[in-house]
């Protein structure tokens, strides 16, 4: 049986800022940290990047480079009329992320069934979801974020209702996530 510690990963955001989390979706560092999805028997299902315990909540975190994702979707569906493309793009991003949340919840459920330590750690806790937008160095990326944030957050909240997620937020950086977790 693998200990929950084998999934632990220090998330260094900036000097003096960071937090510890448990890696769920691990395709890059499998030689260092096992893939939690595989450990619980789910293969490569969609799920969030990691989770952590903060106060009385299980916090699911997905990091994405929104500008790159949008460009990829728009290129793939360039045949759509401009007026429909933005709505379609937001729908694609929303669907991808709520699938990751539902997949992550399934991974957590299976993890709790397989690992007593995880079960006691997560017992009776509510859930939060943070979609952290990275790669915001360019003006274009910041503009895309500003244009889509509210709509994307509302759409995610409409699917990830309070019965599923206590709180759903789209935030523009890992630094802001670290700040939220430091309180």
User: Which residue do the tokens 């979801």 mark?
Assistant: 129
| pLDDT tens per residue, range 36-76 | 999 999 988 899 999 999 989 999 999 999 889 988 998 99
Q: Does residue 154 register a pLDDT over 60?
A: yes
- Give the pLDDT band (50/70/90) at residue 15: confident
| pLDDT tens per residue, range 110-128 | 999 999 999 998 999 999 9
> In the prediction, which pLDDT does 26 show?
75
> In the prediction, which pLDDT does 73 show?
92
Q: Does residue 2 register a pLDDT over 90?
A: no
> In the prediction, which pLDDT does 23 show?
93
Run of H or E residues at 74:
helix 66-76
| pLDDT tens per residue, range 160-174 | 899 889 999 999 988
- Give the pLDDT band (50/70/90) at residue 31: low
- The whole-chain average pLDDT of the chain stands at 88
| pLDDT tens per residue, range 88-109 | 988 898 899 989 999 999 999 9
> In the prediction, which pLDDT does 29 show?
60
Three-class secondary structure of residue 122 per DSSP: helix
- Give the pLDDT band (50/70/90) at residue 183: low
Are 10 and 18 spatial neighbours (Cβ–Cβ below 8 Å)? yes
| pLDDT tens per residue, range 78-92 | 999 988 888 898 889
Structure tokens at 2: 């693998």
Structure tokens at 70: 């949008």
Closest CA relative to residue 107, chosen from 117, 97, 118:
118
**Three-state secondary structure readout of 45-73:** CCCCCEEEEECCEEEEEEEECHHHHHHHH
Q: What values do phi and psi take at 41, rounded to 5? A: 90, 25
d(CA 177, CA 19): 10
Are 181 and 174 spatial neighbours (Cβ–Cβ below 8 Å)? no
């Amino acid at each position: 049986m693998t200990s929950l510690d084998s999934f632990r990963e220090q998330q260094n955001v900036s000097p003096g800022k960071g937090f510890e989390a448990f890696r769920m979706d691990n395709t890059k560092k499998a030689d260092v940290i096992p893939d939690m999805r595989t450990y619980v028997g789910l293969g490569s299902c969609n799920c969030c990047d990691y989770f952590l315990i903060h106060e009385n909540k299980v916090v699911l975190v997905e990091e994405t480079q929104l500008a790159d994702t949008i460009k990829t979707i728009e290129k793939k569906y360039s045949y759509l009329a401009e007026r429909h493309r933005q709505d379609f793009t937001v729908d694609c991003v929303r669907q991808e992320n709520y699938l990751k949340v539902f997949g992550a919840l399934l991974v957590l459920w299976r993890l709790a069934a397989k690992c007593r330590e995880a079960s006691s750690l997560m017992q009776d806790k509510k859930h939060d979801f943070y979609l952290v937008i990275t790669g915001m160095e360019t003006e274009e990326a910041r503009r895309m974020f500003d244009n889509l944030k509210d709509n994307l957050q509302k759409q995610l909240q409409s699917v990830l209702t309070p019965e599923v997620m206590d709180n759903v937020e789209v935030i523009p950086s890992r630094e802001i996530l670290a700040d939220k977790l430091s309180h």
